[in-house]
Amino acid sequence: MPVLPTNLTGCGKGLFSCTAQYANDATSGLFWTLALLGFVVVIFLASQRFGTARSYGFASVVGMFGAVLFVLQDLMDWYVASIFILAGVLGFVVLIVNKS
């Protein structure tokens, strides 16, 4: 279990990046995965008025881009992001098939 940080700006990346990395380390990488999953669920539920297929497609594509962004910032592992990427590709296919 990591100790509470005493100098968040001492990691050399800035306050937000150091805090984000600490939250990731303190929860063994689960914090940002659950944050992204919660964000995707909120987008899915908020866009239900456009139909289930469109709301799933939109939410999964946003989740895919979010997962790639988190991987590039080293806040999420690739094997977790690959699940979001596969769901995003499937959501993109659903959007193309169900366009009207």
Average confidence (pLDDT) per 10 residues, the chain, 100 residues? 59 74 83 92 92 91 94 89 94 86
11 within a domain of the structure (yes/no)? no
Q: How far, in Å, CA of 51 to CA of 54, rounded?
A: 6
Q: Do 72 and 64 contact (CB within 8 A), yes or no?
A: no
41 within a domain of the structure (yes/no)? yes
75 within a domain of the structure (yes/no)? yes
Q: Say what the pLDDT of residue 28 is.
A: 83
Domain range spanning residue 74? 29-97
3 within a domain of the structure (yes/no)? no
Structural domains counted in the chain: 1
55 within a domain of the structure (yes/no)? yes
51 within a domain of the structure (yes/no)? yes
Whole-model pTM above 0.85? Answer: no
72 within a domain of the structure (yes/no)? yes
Q: Say what the pLDDT of residue 74 is.
A: 84
Burial 49-83, CB ≥16 within 10 A → b, else e: eeeeebbbbbbbbbbbebbbebbeeebbeeebbee
